[in-house]
Amino acid sequence: MSKRLTILGATGSIGQSTLDVVRQHRDVFRVEALVANANVAQLAADAREFGARLAVTADPDRYHELKDALAGTGVEVAAGPQAVKEAASCPVDQVMAAIVGVAGLEPTLAAVEAGNTILLANKECLVSAGELFMARARKCGVAVVPVDSEHNAIMQCFERDNAASIEKVILTASGGPFRTRPMETLEDVTPEEALKHPNWDMGAKVTIDSATLMNKGLELMEAYHLYPVTTEQLDAIIHPQSIVHSLVAYADGSVLAQLGTPDMRTPIAVALAWPERLPTNVARLDLTALGQLTFEPINEARFPAPKLALETLRRGGSAGAILNAANEVAVAAFLARKLKFTDIVPLVARVLEAAERRGAIAPLGSLDDVRAADALGRKLARELAEGA
């Protein structure tokens, strides 16, 4: 029997890589719903190619464009945020949650509440609402399978039955394009330079986050919610080749690592098939051709974001949502050339300090609390960005 699959964020980098894996295994998967936002032409083309039952754009103004593009195909069409949530709630075997940003939180929670297994790429579900999100998943008996290459690697190395013997979970970071660039020139970094990741081909937001290493910070926060570890057990190191995707160190001295060429189709295939395996046609790893793999500590002066993320985890409650919202605003301001590259992470840190001074870091009891923390983070970040 084929697996029914819904993809939230189908037109994005993760969505397209997912469809590429599905393309190789048309007998294994049946596409139920495809959800996107602005790229209606791609959404319609994919809905046709994969014979989706439903295609949804989050933008109500694009309904007619999508409807026209799918005329005569029999694919059902819908638009708007409520339609996105309904698509996420259709009963399927798996939902790939790959909408970018905090916009992905509500649809993914809707998928959880419908009892759908979540293949989680969207970071904000865990960064902004980790405790709430995982508690709902546990309550609904829903598995959350990480797609991000680091967490997917950890999943493959983390022996849950031996969790008490795990000493450290070590995430690897490529170091992005500015690992060796002279520090004094970092404030001149342009969006074009920051958008050129040395190893990975990803969406714009996550690429900038990789250049500041905020992405690693967000991943440390995600790992904390996905695995039974303390903040002291979490570590990150630089590994410029992006071949070792993460490591788990055990009390007996063993260190398990997962390796592979940097191609998201591998962790996507792992998530789609877990705990089984699905063949892909990604380039095979040739260690002798690579010659060497190198590792180095993160220079905190150059890259303050991972430390800030661990501090944010220790602050707990709404701090994650505030950090995430402030970072989204700061990245957008940088891309709009309104903020220097070197001001992105300090601005996020200042937002957290301002929120703390106001006594606004509090436990998250509901989605409304997440929304309020997100709104506060954005507001404070905009005010500070304007003054920067």
Minimum CB separation of residue 311 from ligand NDP in Å reads 21
Residue number, 361 or 370, with CB nearest to ligand NDP: 370
| 122 contacts ligand NDP (rule: CB under 6 A) | yes
Minimum CB separation of residue 161 from ligand NDP in Å reads 27
Q: Are 364 and 370 in contact (CB under 8 A)?
A: yes
Q: Which of residues 31-50 bind ligand NDP (CB under 6 A)?
A: 35-39
Starting from the edge strand earliest in sequence, which strands make up the sheet with 29-36, in order? 76-79, 54-57, 29-36, 3-8, 94-97, 117-120, 144-146
Amino acid at site 319: A
Q: Which stretch binds ligand NDP (CB under 6 A): 98-106, 163-171, 308-316, 378-386?
A: 98-106
Structure tokens at 46: 């994919």
Residue number, 200 or 250, with CB nearest to ligand NDP: 200
Chain position carrying tokens 């959880």: 112
**3-state helix vs strand vs coil in the chain, percent to 5:** 50, 15, 35
| 262 contacts ligand NDP (rule: CB under 6 A) | no
| 344 contacts ligand NDP (rule: CB under 6 A) | no
DSSP code per residue over 192-225:
HHHT--SS----HHHHHHHHHTHHHHHHHHHHHH
Residue 259 CB contacts under 8 Å (≥ 6 apart), including other chains = 243, 244, 245, 285
| 84 contacts ligand NDP (rule: CB under 6 A) | yes
Which helix (H) or strand (E) segment holds residue 79: the answer is strand 76-79
Minimum CB separation of residue 206 from ligand NDP in Å reads 4
| 283 contacts ligand NDP (rule: CB under 6 A) | no
Minimum CB separation of residue 191 from ligand NDP in Å reads 15
- The residue sitting closest to ligand NDP, measured at its beta carbon, is 12
| 269 contacts ligand NDP (rule: CB under 6 A) | no
Q: Which of residues 5-34 bind ligand NDP (CB under 6 A)?
A: 9-15
Minimum CB separation of residue 17 from ligand NDP in Å reads 7
| 264 contacts ligand NDP (rule: CB under 6 A) | yes
Q: Are 314 and 234 in contact (CB under 8 A)?
A: no
Helices and strands in the chain: count of H runs, count of E runs:
17, 11
- Name the 3-class secondary structure at 244: strand
- Which of 202, 257, 370, 376 forms a contact with ligand NDP (CB under 6 A)? 202
- Which of 5, 88, 99, 105 forms a contact with ligand NDP (CB under 6 A)? 99
Judged by the rule CB under 6 A, the positions of this chain that interact with ligand NDP are 9-15, 35-39, 58, 84, 98-100, 103, 121-123, 148, 200, 202-203, 206, 264
